[in-house]
Every structure is written in structure tokens, then in C-alpha cells.
Structure 1
């Protein structure tokens, strides 16, 4: 899964101002600045604000953040099935034995964020992933 324009999804709590963009400057008000409400690309806070928003949402829908890696989320269902979500910037890898639970999580994420489903994973973080369902094997 990929989040479209993830860094534009963060909410800013601090007062951050920027000079007016060319084409929007009124000659009589040339010294005005713009106060940002949402993140922009190249803004130092954008990545952090995106992560905070994503983290808040995952905790809100009942997932737990891994203590040793803050970009790994898990949920244990009543039937003891475990689902894992691994976040890398704006890309996600979701793993679970039950595909219906993966689809359910994808639906929840798509309601909150503008997402693109990239299909079954073939490569992540420079690692190629191959699987053989008949042999029940996975290779990295």
C-alpha cells in the first residue's frame, strides 16, 4: 500500500509562516506572510506530522505499536490471528494469514487516507520477496 501525498496529510500545531508565493502577492500588501495549517513538502516538520497522524489513527483503531520499532503495528484478533503492518515513510507492508483481515485493514486505511494498493509485495526496502504457496515458503 502507498499513501498518496502523505506529507501533505499532517496537521501543524505550531505557528509556521512562509512568505507569499509568486503570483499571489498583492502589490498593496506585499509584506504579508501565510500561516500554514497543513504540512507542505520540504517543510522540516512534514515527515514527523505525517507519522504522528498515522500513529494516532492506528492506535485509535486498536493496533499496538511495537516497542522496539515504532513503525511496526500489530493486532491480535479473538481467533488469535495476528496481523502486522510495517510502515516505511509512506509505504506499507501488511502481513496476515487471513486475507479477509488484510482487506478489512486496507478498507479502514482507505477511509482515512488516500491510498493506492500496489498489489502483492514483490520488493521492499531493496529486498526482493518471493513466495511459493504450494511449498509454504517465503524467500527474501
Structure 2
């Protein structure tokens, strides 16, 4: 980021609502379950590409070194570069773990195994929803994510961005997902 050029821009990757609805519809048609994960303190996971210095925060100023500043090693909340740094980190992680980014929706990733198993992951800043045709992929995905990032496993998706999702299995063992926008 360059002051005067793009310093005032703040970027946080969010999936479009249409993409989220499409993923929910796909899961409903294919009788797949949808799960949700939340990345704790996501912006603190981002690595900075440039050198950034900040003033000593009030209450933590060292009297002997009042004129000194801190050099940041990682992103902080409130830092304009934090959302972009987080996005670069999660994007790198997904691509290093065999996911392909959708060329039309940069918050949607897909992983395809040789046996035909698929896993779709959709990112909304620090919230992830994902669905798959292979339950083993769910567990592997969750295990890897928790190992890399501090996460909250929310379980089956029930509420996401004002959308209520009800996932239920009937006697025929097919999964039904109904979507209701709450206002």
C-alpha cells in the first residue's frame, strides 16, 4: 500500500450472497451436509509484505524511549493492511493444500480428489462454510484447518449472514436444506 495511492483502501474478501445461495442449493440437490467454521482472530494470522511502524500506544509508552516506534511483524486489528494480509494468507493456505480458486468468485474454493470426491469451501472474511460429497473430506478439512488456524467448529450450518438453514434427514436418509431470509 502506498500513501496517497491506495492507503485508504480497505479490502476484505467476502463471498457474494448469490454464491452462498448457490452452494446451499447444490448441497440441497445433492443431499450433502453443510458445515461452518469460524477463524478466531483471523486478521492476526496475516503476514505483512511491507515494513510497518506504529507509535507506542497510550499507556504503554516507555518514558526513556518516547520517540521510538514499534515495527510490526504481523497484522493487527485496526491496521488497514490486516484484511488483505489475512486474505493472502488463507488464499495461500488453500492453494498449497490442493484447492482451486474459482476464477469468477474469489471467495470460493474447490478441491477434487482422484476418486471423484469434491469439497467446496466458501469464505466470508473469517467465516467458512463448506460442503462435500465425501464425509471423510469434511473431517480431513476440519483437522487441517484447526491445525493451521485457531478455529471454532460451529458444526452443521444453521445461521449464516441472516440466512437460516435447516438441515434434516428424513426416513429415506436424504438431506433437505431449506433457506429462509430473516428480516
Query: Is the pair's TM-score, using the shorter chain for normalization, greater than 0.5?
Result: yes
Q: Distance in 2 between matches of 1:97 and 1:114?
A: 25
Structure 1: how far apart are the matches of 2:176 and 2:65? 65
Which fold has the larger relative contact order, with Cα–Cα distance below 8 Å and residues 6 or more apart in sequence?
2
- Shifted more, 23-32 versus 106-115: the winner is 23-32
Residue deviations 1:14-44 (CA, integer Å, cap 9, x gap): 1111110223322222111111111111111
Which residue number in structure 2 is paired with residue 53 of structure 1? 89
Report what 1:42 is aligned to.
78
Instruction: Write the mapping of 1:1-140 to structure 2, written as runs, cut at 5 A.
Output: 1-134=37-170, 135-140=174-179
Secondary structure of the corresponding residue to residue 129 of structure 1: strand
- The alignment of Structure 1 onto Structure 2 pairs a total of residues equal to 140
| Structure 2 unaligned spans of 5+ | 1-36
Change (3 A) 1:136 1:28: closer
CA distance in 1, matches of 2:164, 2:118: 23
What is the Cα-based RMSD across aligned positions, in Å? 1.2
5+ residue gaps, structure 1 = none
Structure 1: how far apart are the matches of 2:144 and 2:175?
A: 29
